[in-house]
Structure 1
Amino acid sequence: MTVLPTLRQLRYLVAVAETRHFGRAAEDCNVTQSTLSAGIQELEAVLGVTLIDRSNRQMALTVLAEDLVLRARALLQAAEELVEAAKIGKQPLSGLLRLGVIPTIGPYMLPPLLRPLRIAFPQLRLYLREDQTARLLDLLGRAKLDAAIIALPYETGGLSRMVLGEDRLFIACPAGHRFAARASIDVDELIGERLLLLEDGHCLRNHAVTACRLVPGKANEDLQGTSLGTLVQMVASGLGLTFLPEMALAVEARAESDVVAVAIDNGEPRRQIALVWRPGSTRVRDMQLLGEALRLRKAATDGGGEGGGDLPGARVDSAPSLSIQG
């Protein structure tokens, strides 16, 4: 009978490959460095190959190990999905669900959803990871996340996705600006205005540039914000104008903020909000339920109400735990 490597040994190998450091890999696996090193040596003995190049002081994977890491990661993901499938079969949207969300959506879309979600699915433990789209999709591809809420258009490869709705873009200007009393403006009127954008990596920056046909020189590259809140503070200080998605208006352009949001003509630039997940995931049913819950919440918010309708599969019980990582 062929002796097979254990999942623990494969996890050690993947951790070493991802951290390129024995100490950090041991921390990620919650074991001592000596335990991890012994596990790697046992794996080498089982496979009959060398995985770690120990000819110099700097740790390096062999060429063969780089290929085996991809296979090991797939096996670990399949094992995790097997366990999740067993849990999900008992009750939908239960257990740990790791959801990524981009910073221009999370603070505005999720808060009104969380309470109805925990009422509907009391056994759900929701872990939120806020990050830029590229990093979220990387984590999703490596099975570090179960799903992510992002804005389209964005290249998502072969990921499955559900479009949750559209989000119009507005221009935010100081209360004393010539646009402030207008119901809407034309895109061409932005020529000559100082436009403030999010720093590189935020998809809202690309959406604004594309939708409003901006060209280099129209935006102020010296004043870039790390968040919509930062940009709004710049606008309130008279440093320029910025773009705000509709879902952020109630928070970022409220009456006391000294910032006014004005609609944009010329096709009303907008982005699509979508839930994405890995194809073939055992949690497809959960993704569909979560997507429908998000759609209902957005519809209630768009309708101007506080949105208290029942979510799919709703039942009242104790609240799930919530973990947030920025």
Structure 2
Amino acid sequence: MPSLRQLQYLVALDDHRHFGRAAFAVHVSQPTLSQQLRTLEARLGASLIDRSGQDVQLTPLGRDIAARARGILVQVRDLSDLARRAGKGIGGTLRFGVTPTLGPYLMPAIVAGLHREQPDLRLHIREGIPDDQVRQVMRGELDMMLCPMPVDATGIVVEPLFSERMFVIAPPDHRLAGQKDIPASELKGEGFLTLDRRHHFHRQTRDICEQLGAHIMHDYEGTSLDSIRQMVGSGIGLALLPERYMAAETQAAEVVATLDIAGWNARRSIAALWRTGAAFSDGFHAIAEFIRAYVNETA
């Protein structure tokens, strides 16, 4: 029978498509990983790895077995988590994913509040691309995450938490700055800054630009909300920024102007995610409720 370690090696090779990088990811030498995978193939009596080309590829059977191995490894991890946390309430270290368009201005207060209420709980915060982090939750590499909705995934609990308004910001000397009840048609042809296309934030900005007849300025993609705000303040273009970010950044009003668009109601919704059937699901629900309550209290 295959060992769990061998299944872990096969999954690592599927992820990295390179023996050296896969070995590094699972903390063994390349010869050890290669030998164990050959042993796995011998035990199963089948070829799992196509070694004929320059690039490492799994055979069709190898891909199927790697996909099932992921599920097995997640279930084993859940069993370990269940045993470790049994009777301890909310405690231990959680691998917590968050989008960079949310974490910097929401998580400091969340972390501090949770630590006061649950001192045995520790959050290992990882900022990343929401789409990538959803896959990491499905694989058991993250326990829980916060991200914008919608989320297209199976085997995931999606717990809506809150929504927030999206403001249009402009340089302080923009032709529309300071005006009241600006018709949305005035934004036609304007250029909007945003993050790169891997972010949900980019997709929402793109959709709003299409509605307005505006366009995204691809040559000036930001790496964070701060960088977008600063580029807008320097006069490069317009942008969308979330309500809670604007409230948290006390200098935002000095750098940019918020445009008063008539009938403007753009919003984004934030949810908490975790694997369906996760051993710590009650704890994840409690954390999600804490975040929802905090946002409602500070709205």
TM-score normalised per structure 2: 0.89
User: Where does residue 307 of structure 1 map in the other structure?
Assistant: none
User: Where does residue 315 of structure 1 map in the other structure?
Assistant: none
Amino acid at match of 1:23: G
User: Where does residue 163 of structure 1 map in the other structure?
Assistant: 160
Q: Quick check: 1:12–1:25 contact (8 Å CA) kept in 2?
A: yes
Q: C-alpha separation between the residues in 1 aligned to 2:207 and 2:50?
A: 47
Task: Give per-residue Cα distances to partners, 1:47-78, cap 9 Å, x unaligned.
Answer: 22232334566533232211111111111111
Aligned-pair CA distance for 1:125: 2.8
Q: C-alpha separation between the residues in 2 aligned to 1:109 and 1:117?
A: 13
Q: C-alpha separation between the residues in 2 aligned to 1:117 and 1:183?
A: 41
Amino acid at match of 2:194: L
Greater shift, 167-176 or 37-46, is seen at 37-46
User: Where does residue 140 of structure 2 map in the other structure?
Assistant: 143
Aligned-pair CA distance for 1:263: 4.7
User: Where does residue 195 of structure 1 map in the other structure?
Assistant: 192
Amino acid at match of 1:31: V
User: Where does residue 104 of structure 2 map in the other structure?
Assistant: 107
User: Where does residue 11 of structure 1 map in the other structure?
Assistant: 8
Higher relative contact order (CA 8 A, sep 6+): 1
Amino acid at match of 2:290: A
Equivalent of residue 202 in structure 2, options 180, 205, 208? 205
Count of paired positions: 299
Q: C-alpha separation between the residues in 2 aligned to 1:237 and 1:108?
A: 22
Task: Give per-residue Cα distances to partners, 1:141-185, cap 9 Å, x unaligned.
Answer: 222112221112343445211111111011112223344334654
Equivalent residue runs for 1:217-296 within 5 Å: 217-252=214-249, 254=251, 257-266=254-263, 268-296=265-293
Greater shift, 36-45 or 249-258, is seen at 249-258
Please state whether the residue corresponding to 1:225 is helix, strand or coil. coil
Matching of residue 80 in structure 1 with residue 77 in structure 2: yes
Please state whether the residue corresponding to 1:214 is helix, strand or coil. helix
Q: Call closer, same or farther: CA 1:49–1:128 in 2, change over 3 Å.
A: same
Q: C-alpha separation between the residues in 1 aligned to 2:259 and 2:23?
A: 53
Q: Call closer, same or farther: CA 1:166–1:217 in 2, change over 3 Å.
A: closer
Identity %: 37
Aligned-pair CA distance for 1:212: 6.1
Q: C-alpha separation between the residues in 2 aligned to 1:116 and 1:217?
A: 41
Q: C-alpha separation between the residues in 2 aligned to 1:89 and 1:265?
A: 54
Aligned-pair CA distance for 1:214: 3.0
Q: C-alpha separation between the residues in 2 aligned to 1:275 and 1:180?
A: 36
Amino acid at match of 1:126: L
Q: C-alpha separation between the residues in 2 aligned to 1:299 and 1:291?
A: 12
Please state whether the residue corresponding to 2:47 is helix, strand or coil. coil
Please state whether the residue corresponding to 2:211 is helix, strand or coil. coil
Equivalent of residue 298 in structure 1, options 271, 283, 295? 295
Equivalent residue runs for 1:122-141 within 5 Å: 122-141=119-138
Aligned-pair CA distance for 1:132: 1.9
RMSD: 2.4
User: Where does residue 42 of structure 2 map in the other structure?
Assistant: 45
Amino acid at match of 1:202: H
Q: C-alpha separation between the residues in 2 aligned to 1:191 and 1:51?
A: 55
Greater shift, 123-132 or 282-291, is seen at 123-132
Q: Quick check: 2:111–2:123 contact (8 Å CA) kept in 1?
A: no
Q: C-alpha separation between the residues in 2 aligned to 1:99 and 1:184?
A: 41
Q: C-alpha separation between the residues in 1 aligned to 2:66 and 2:243?
A: 43
Q: Quick check: 2:169–2:241 contact (8 Å CA) kept in 1?
A: yes
